[in-house]
Amino acid sequence: MSALLQIGDLHARYGPVQVVTGMELEVADGEIVALVGANGAGKSTTLRAVAGLHREASGTIRFAGRDVLGASAERRARAGLRLVPEGRRLFGRLTVAENLTLGAATRPRAQRAEVARERAELLERFPALDAALGKPAATLSGGQQQQLALARALLGAPRLLLLDEPTLGLSPRLTDEVLALIASLPRERGIAVLLVEQHVRLALAIADRAAVLRRGRVVLAGAAADVLASPELEAQVLGEGVR
Ligand SMILES: Nc1ncnc2c1ncn2[C@@H]1O[C@H](COP(=O)(O)OP(=O)(O)OP(=O)(O)O)[C@@H](O)[C@H]1O
């Protein structure tokens, strides 16, 4: 498989504080890679830097063969690199239907019929959204907002989804549902995923590969099953109270 995303020697900081230091990571086409680590390890900052939302970053970020470090977040999104940030960032006053429409705003008009089909499919998958199409997004429960954020991103036809804590605040049942949907993305839609997830064991169970981040650096990486079995995982992440 060819590398869809290549992160090389990535450094990111907040003013003088360096939080990502020489990060290396690749995601191949159609692959799920879990990025795990204790609180404050730099996972969200990495995703935001890749999406073009954290600009105090240097190094190499190549997507689909192009260097995108200097590109705006919008250009990266149009190229198929899409972030679902922690906390969902929906347009709270707009309805569920309007949020979905905005998700597809980058699609060409010629794909209108395809978008409509994908939208119907997603609403079938998430009946709670279907029932709430006319309601403002802010009035949805946390779980429904998470589903909406994911559905909206999927309607943008991403090649790579960057997911930051997609199960945050969800019940165990919804957590399982959302993770099952994520697991199906490569197979059913040809979408690759870089996943930051608090439920480390569940994330590794659906991932092909995993990288463990500690203080802004990858300290362990490999096949997800090997990382899951590694005593290092316990020491680096699970020991710190992460599930
Ligand atoms: N806006 C900010 N200004 C200053 N420091 C920040 C800011 N956002 C994050 N940080 C710091 O950067 C470091 C990395 O944060 P980041 O959110 O990337 O970590 P994380 O691995 O995603 O952790 P978490 O699971 O807690 O979100 C932390 O020490 C955090 O306190």
Q: Collapsing DSSP states into helix, strand and coil, what is residue 22?
A: strand
> Is the beta carbon of 91 within 6 A of some atom in ligand 1?
no
166 and 182 housed in the same domain: yes
Report yes or no: 5 and 62 within 8 Å, Cβ to Cβ.
yes
| Structural domain containing residue 142 | 91-156
What's the structural domain count of the chain? 2
Structure confidence at residue 86 (pLDDT):
82
| Other CB atoms within 10 A of residue 2 CB | 9
Taking the centre of ligand 1 as the mean of its atom positions, its distance from the CA of residue 1, in whole angstroms, is 32
Q: Indicate which residue's Cα is closest to atom 24 of ligand 1.
A: 39
Structure confidence at residue 238 (pLDDT):
62
Strand extents, DSSP E, 38-108: 57-63, 66-67, 81-84
> Does 86 reside within a domain?
no
Low-confidence ranges of the chain (pLDDT < 50): 242
Look at residues 156, 180, 196 and tell me which one is the last residue of a structural domain: 156
| Ligand 1 pocket mutation, candidates 10, 11, 17, criterion most atoms within 8 A of CB | 17
Structure confidence at residue 237 (pLDDT):
76
173 and 74 housed in the same domain: yes
pTM of the model: 0.92
Report yes or no: 200 and 36 within 8 Å, Cβ to Cβ.
yes
Per-residue pLDDT tens over the stretch 132-170: 999 999 999 888 888 899 999 999 999 999 999 999 888
> Does 85 reside within a domain?
no
Structure confidence at residue 194 (pLDDT):
98
> Does 176 reside within a domain?
yes
123 and 224 housed in the same domain: no
| Ligand 1 pocket mutation, candidates 21, 25, 39, criterion most atoms within 8 A of CB | 39
Q: At what angle do helices 142-154 and 112-125 cross, to 10 degrees?
A: 150
